[in-house]
Amino acid sequence: MTDEEASLFDMLWLLLASVIFVPIFQKIPGGSPVLGYLAAGILIGPYGLSIIRHVHGTKAIAEFGVVFLLFNIGLELSVERLSSMKKYVFGLGTAQVLVTAVVVGLVTHFISGQPGPAAIVIGNGLALSSTAVVLQVLQERGESTSRHGRATFSVLLFQDLAVVVLLILIPLISPNSSKGGIGFQAIAEALGLAAVKALVAIAAIIAGGRLLLRPIYKQIAENQNAEIFSANTLLVILGTSLLTARAGLSMALGAFLAGLLLAETEFSLQVESDIAPYRGLLLGLFFMTVGMSIDPKLLISNFPVIMGTLGLLIGGKALLVALVGKLFGISIISAIRVGLLLAPGGEFAFVAFGEAVNQGIMSPQLSSLLFLVVGISMALTPWLAAGGQLIASRFEQHDVRSLLPVESETDDLQDHIIICGFGRVGQIIAQLLSERLIPFVALDVRSDRVAMGRALDLPVYFGDAGSREVLHKVGAERACAAAITLDTPGANYRTVWALSKYFPNVKTFVRAHDVDHGLNLEKAGATAVVPETLEPSLQLAAAVLAQAKLPTSEIAATINEFRSRHLSELTELCEASGSSLGYGFSRIASKSKPQPPDSSDENQITEGTLAV
């Protein structure tokens, strides 16, 4: 069989295994596509049926799955949103890596008896987590914008930077090093040079991206050539990845920076659509290569040692991360969830331990055992995430005090959205924001709704959205907009009035029960008002018109024209007649300049207020 035929058969087996295993593991309670890919890799890899002939080449291609994942994450963020996370990236991230590396290193040295250089590599290698697996699990579970999701992502970003230091450190502490072992001056010189190269590469990507990306994409878009548009996106991803790799940084970090810069352009949605097929296939391939590194025979022959090490890694690391997270103002439940997500090892541990073997720091037998521990721990990530959600639902469900907003939990937010009312409409808005990784907080006064949101670790708090103090605690002075979906007219009015008076920079978008209500909300300072029954009626009408075989363009034109005319007529009739116009609620108040809301029952948000 020629190399070309062997490569083709490798690809066929990889695709067949993923098609079979991924659907099976998706149906398992708490399962995930990640587990399906890992199982497929174990079966067809060198330690299973040994079907794949070119394992090394497959792993090289699979690395780009992580690159495309980080590029996509960058597209869904922005420089401003990332800057608001600096407390977690450089504070929590630094603390997590240092504390975990020191504790694991000391245990390895004094209890396991490993020499100093090996203990340093093992401590730092196991302090890292899997960016690819954790971010994929967060996206699958819709938790990327949750409190623990933001903190976890921030730490993973810092870990990608910390890898550079570890890979520079390994040759310097090797017994084969020409420097004669550990030398402070040699380490300082190497790290200084690496820092300069990294800063130059990052500055080049940022400067070049801001100057060139928009005009280049604009020119390509004007030519209306979809193939060239996609090719340019691949060029940007691979080019920035190569640049950071040459500077000693991870390829994924370069792709992430490129995604951040493209997120500021008007082409980000099309770019995201173009890369989706590549990202999914390559990321699945990456997870399969992780499975290929797991040796079932080695697991059986060293079962007690591997299981004991695995338990110590996950339990100890989760505890350390949770304690560090608590010190940075994260609630205890969210800190535990961050700890469980970051407890498994990561893909960079394979690189670090492999280099340590090459440098004579670590024996091949020890590295094989550690590879197995790290690989199994990565496979447990989806179940650890599910366990974190179970803990949250169990302990937060009946504790109303834990549902109250705490300023320290929201002080990292910037340009976020405040959702006032976490009923059906509020939940849909939250879901849409989560899918686009747009930060938000939600307020409601029904503890069952709040507990339901908190069980998913969404930033939902118990509180009166019309209270200045509550709004301050959720960072209203730094918010960009508020979506107000409370049920009672008085509650909506009072919330709009409070935001307009105390936080005038916040744009308020509110639903109105009728046109009269909408007019009063506009006078109270609402930026935009939407009658709650108009849009559902128009959507239903559009479906009926489509069934009547009208062209799509004609349906859109008819609906848009009716919407504009109807709103205009309703406003004129309302002002002329002084009566309600059929939205099911009576007229509210007069049209005089609104006064601050009183404390009557109608205007208060109480425990029984519905947010639909």
157 pLDDT band, cuts 50/70/90, is confident
With b meaning 16 or more CB within 10 Å and e meaning fewer, what string describes 66-86? bbbbbbbbbbbbbeebbebbe
Residue 308: predicted pLDDT: 94
- Assign 585 a pLDDT band (cuts: 50, 70, 90): very low
Look over the chain and give the mean of its residue pLDDT values, rounded to a whole number: 81
Using pLDDT thresholds of 50, 70 and 90, give the confidence band for residue 80. Answer: low
Strand order in the sheet with 460-462: 460-462, 440-444, 417-420, 481-484, 507-512, 528-531
Confidence of residue 349 (pLDDT cuts 50, 70, 90): confident
Band (584; pLDDT cuts 50, 70, 90): very low
The residue-averaged pLDDT of 568-575 equals 59
The 3-state secondary structure of 197-220 reads: HHHHHHHHHHHHHHHHHHHHHHHH
The helix/strand/coil state of 419 is: strand
pLDDT tens, position by position, 352-380: 888 888 888 988 889 889 988 998 998 89
Residue pair 389/32 in contact by the 8 Å Cβ criterion:
no
Q: Give the residue extent of every domain in the chain.
A: 3-394, 403-531+584-603, 534-582
Q: Say if pTM beats, i.e. exceeds, 0.85.
A: no
- Give pLDDT, residue 482: 94
- What digits encode the pLDDT tens for the residues 249-272? 778 778 888 888 888 787 887 888
Residue 68 near residue 255, CB atoms below 8 Å: yes
pLDDT surpassing 90 at residue 100: yes
User: Residue 401 has what DSSP assignment?
Assistant: G
Residue 610 is predicted with a pLDDT of 34
Residue 343 has pLDDT above 90, yes or no: yes
* pLDDT the model gives residue 574: 52
Question: Confidence class of residue 611 from pLDDT cuts 50, 70 and 90?
Answer: very low
pLDDT (0 to 100) of residue 178: 54
Q: What is the CATH number of domain 3-394?
A: 1.20.1530.20
CB contact at 8 A, 512 and 521: yes
Amino acid 589: pLDDT: 36
Three-state SS annotation for 221-250: HHHCCHHHHHHHHHHHHHHHHHHHHHCCCC
Predicted local distance difference test score (pLDDT) of residue 499: 93
Answer whether 408's CB lies under 8 Å from 455's CB: no
Q: Do domains 3-394 and 403-531+584-603 have the same CATH topology?
A: no
Q: What is residue 607's predicted lDDT score, i.e. its pLDDT?
A: 34
Alpha helix locations (H) across 436-488?
Answer: 447-455, 468-473
Paired residues of 512 in beta bridges: 531
DSSP string, 132-160: HHHHHHHHHTT-TTSHHHHHHHHHHHHHH
pLDDT at residue 35, rounded to an integer: 83
| Sequence-ordered strand ranges (E) for 72-192 | none
Q: Which among 542, 118, 551 is positioned nearest to 360, based on CA atoms?
A: 118
- Please determine, for residue 595, whether its predicted confidence score (pLDDT) is greater than 80: no
Query: Could you give the CA distance from residue 216 to residue 220 in angstroms, rounded to a whole number?
Result: 6
For domain 403-531+584-603, say whether CATH 3.40.50.720 is its number.
yes
Q: Per-residue confidence at 193, pLDDT binned at 50, 70, 90?
A: confident
With pLDDT > 70 as the criterion, what percentage of the chain qualifies?
85
Which residues fall within 8 angstroms of residue 59, CB to CB, at 6 or more apart? 289, 292
User: What integer is the mean pLDDT of 4-12?
Assistant: 83
At residue 405 the predicted structure's pLDDT band, cuts being 50, 70 and 90, is low
Q: How far is CA 49 from CA 1, 53, 54, in A?
A: 18, 11, 14
Taking residues 168-192, what's their average pLDDT? 68
Looking at residue 612, its pLDDT comes to: 37
> What is the structure's pLDDT at 600?
43
Share of the chain above pLDDT 90, in %: 20
> What pLDDT was estimated at residue 273?
82
